[in-house]
Structure 1
Amino acid sequence: MGLCVGLTGGIGSGKTSVSRLFAELGAGVVDTDEISHELTAPDGAAMAAIRLAFGDQFVTADGALNRAAMRALIFADSTAKAQLEAILHPMIQARALMAIAQSSAPYTVLVVPLLLETGNYQGRAKRVLVVDCDERLQIARTMQRAALTEEQVRAIMASQLPRKVRLAGADDIIVNNGGLDDLCQQVQTLHQAYLALAKS
């Protein structure tokens, strides 16, 4: 098993952009959000358990997770959130670890939005990379991408680790306040460092 770097960051910080740049440089990328979407797509592997636990109103006509209904429920009900996580997290983790094990890349970037909150991958990720940006940028990017109100974005941010705590848990930090060139440069620098670490 080669070097595994855990990549995390608050909503709207730019985790997807950063992981895409690492992939372009030849790193393996395993994204737990993508795995979660596969599991909750029409007739995805988690959908039978979700239907059983929550009922038909949380499943769309084509057999996928009704994301809007589920988002509203888990924000209002912490028990429902824990119930959903109990279904999804073990399945996501099993698939992610399998993908890491099968990777032939020099090192693997494991993208986990709640890496530091859950501690599920602490034994696997040898370094923690946090993507950080100003809160106003976080809010603007998320509102633009996900068609959420500022209030909804702030509620999601409040449910995640405070920025200071997340940064304190980082081995490496990418600051995503600038443009793409700046981001590319930071990723390139870390890529060289990770290649050296992977060899050692």
Structure 2
Amino acid sequence: MMAKKYIVGLTGGIASGKTTVANLFAQYGIDLVDADVIAREVVSIGSDGLNAIKQHFGQGILLADNSLDRAALRAKVFNNPEQRLWLNNLLHPMIRHRMLDQVQASTSAYVIMVVPLLFENHLDSLVDTTLVVDIAPELQVSRTMQRDGVSKEQVEHILASQMTREQRLALADNIIDNQGEHEQLRSQVFRLHQQYLQQATDLETNVND
């Protein structure tokens, strides 16, 4: 029987600081399972995911080096719900399967699963507790514009496609406020790390009883 791992689902809107928070947990020796990294792996050169996409959309979906042309794929699915559904039905099970494999391979006391669309894609069903990194929408806009060199309109379009701040906070078990100084962020992470260590221990005790 597979050992039950205590899983924390870490999420937040665009430019909320999910990676920064995840890396602070990693400094305590906690393993990270990153959905974005896995999403890139399942469509890497030679992967089953990329081969299926090529068969479905044609050779034009590839760059000169045979890697995925992400811009071309985005253009194919952007205003086409049917094609987006096809793509999601292909990739989501692959990503989910690989995430769970990585969780099982983890050796840390608990695991942080970093998933930008945790609630939207119903992946919160895989975790024991949810942690939302929260910042104000106007801060999301300014940080994303600065980080990605995109227009305000583009950022607002992305925000509109995601769950609202209020919806996300309503679903959160724990919340980190990432609008202050780095030291405040670090202390919030430390407090939650202690909490998750205890919850992981409690889970192990209950499983073994």
TM-score, normalised by the number of residues in structure 2 = 0.89
Q: For residues 183 and 47 of structure 2, what CA distance do their matches in structure 1 show?
A: 37
**Contact preservation (8 Å) 1:107, 1:198:** yes
Residues 155-175 of structure 1 show CA distances to partners (whole Å, capped at 9, x for unaligned) of 111111111111100000011
**Contact preservation (8 Å) 1:44, 1:64:** no
Matching residue's letter, 1:80: Q
- Find the structure with the greater CA-based Rg: 2
SS at match of 2:32: strand
SS at match of 1:114: coil
Matching residue's letter, 1:164: E
What's the RMSD between the two structures over aligned residues?
1.5
**Contact preservation (8 Å) 2:124, 2:130:** no
SS at match of 1:33: helix
Q: For residues 60 and 82 of structure 1, what CA distance do their matches in structure 2 show?
A: 23
Match of 2:149 in 1: 147
Matching residue's letter, 1:38: E
Q: Alpha-carbon deviation of 1:139?
A: 1.5
Match of 2:207 in 1: none
SS at match of 1:115: coil
SS at match of 2:111: strand
Is 1:17 aligned to residue 20 of structure 2?
yes
1:177 counterpart (175, 179, 190): 179
Matching residue's letter, 1:199: T
Residues 112-133 of structure 1 show CA distances to partners (whole Å, capped at 9, x for unaligned) of 11111121341x2010101110
Q: Alpha-carbon deviation of 1:19?
A: 0.8
Q: For residues 119 and 84 of structure 2, what CA distance do their matches in structure 1 show?
A: 18
Residues 136-193 of structure 1 show CA distances to partners (whole Å, capped at 9, x for unaligned) of 2211222233332221211111111111111100000011112322211111111011
Residues 21-41 of structure 1 show CA distances to partners (whole Å, capped at 9, x for unaligned) of 111111111001000111223
- Cα distance change of structure 1 residues 165 and 2 upon mapping to structure 2, 3 Å threshold: same
1:114 counterpart (104, 117, 130): 117
Matching residue's letter, 1:159: S
Match of 2:79 in 1: 76
Query: What is the aligned length?
Result: 199
Matching residue's letter, 1:26: G
Q: Hey, which bits of structure 1, 4+ residues long, moved more than 4 A? A: none
Q: For residues 179 and 83 of structure 1, what CA distance do their matches in structure 2 show?
A: 43
**Contact preservation (8 Å) 1:12, 1:142:** yes
SS at match of 1:174: strand
- Cα distance change of structure 1 residues 17 and 114 upon mapping to structure 2, 3 Å threshold: same
TM-score, normalised by the number of residues in structure 1 = 0.93
Match of 2:9 in 1: 6
Q: Which runs of 5+ in 2 are unaligned?
A: 203-209
Q: Once structures 1 and 2 are overlaid, which stretch shifts more, 133-142 or 161-170? A: 133-142
Match of 1:135 in 2: 137
**Contact preservation (8 Å) 1:7, 1:111:** yes
Written as runs of structure 1 = structure 2, the 5 A alignment for 1:27-38 is 27-38=30-41
SS at match of 2:139: helix
